[in-house]
């Protein structure tokens, strides 16, 4: 049994439940579920592409290396 969060109005809770029952959401969820096992690298940056996420990681690494080198 699911309990409604205390700080969420009943109407908002119903909208949330309805959203997860939309056929469009269900089909998207099923597609994502099939693709997840095929991923080689985790992407936890929202909708960013893997290449842009990797670029950000490399740039941060380079900045840290440069800062350490010049200190």
Q: What is the pLDDT of residues 7-66, one digit of tens each?
A: 888 888 889 889 889 999 889 889 888 887 777 766 665 666 666 777 877 888 777 766
Q: What's residue 6's pLDDT?
A: 85
d(CA 15, CA 54): 36
- Do 43 and 53 meet the contact criterion of CB atoms below 8 Å apart? yes
* Number of structural domains in the chain: 2
Is the pLDDT at 70 greater than 80? The verdict is: no
Residue 57 domain-assigned (yes or no): yes
52 assigned to some structural domain: yes
Residue 53 domain-assigned? yes
Q: What is the pLDDT of residue 48?
A: 63
Angle, CA 33 vertex, CA 29 and CA 39 arms, to 5°: 130
pTM of the entire predicted model: 0.43
Q: Are residues 19 and 33 in the same domain?
A: yes
> Is 3 within the bounds of a domain?
no
Element (H, E) at 20: helix 10-21
Domain span holding position 51: 44-71
Tell me whether residue 64 is in a domain. yes
CA-to-CA separations, 42 to 33, 57, 60, in angstroms, rounded: 14, 13, 18
Give a yes or no: residue 13 inside a domain: yes
Task: Check whether residue 49 and residue 71 sit in a common domain.
Answer: yes
């Amino acid at each position: 049994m699911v309990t409604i969060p205390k700080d969420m109005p009943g109407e908002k809770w119903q909208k949330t439940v309805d959203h997860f029952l939309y056929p469009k959401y269900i089909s998207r969820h099923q597609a994502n579920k099939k693709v997840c096992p095929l991923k080689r690298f985790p992407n936890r940056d929202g909708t960013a592409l893997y290449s842009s996420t990797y670029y950000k990681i490399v740039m941060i690494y380079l900045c840290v290396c440069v800062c350490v080198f010049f200190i």
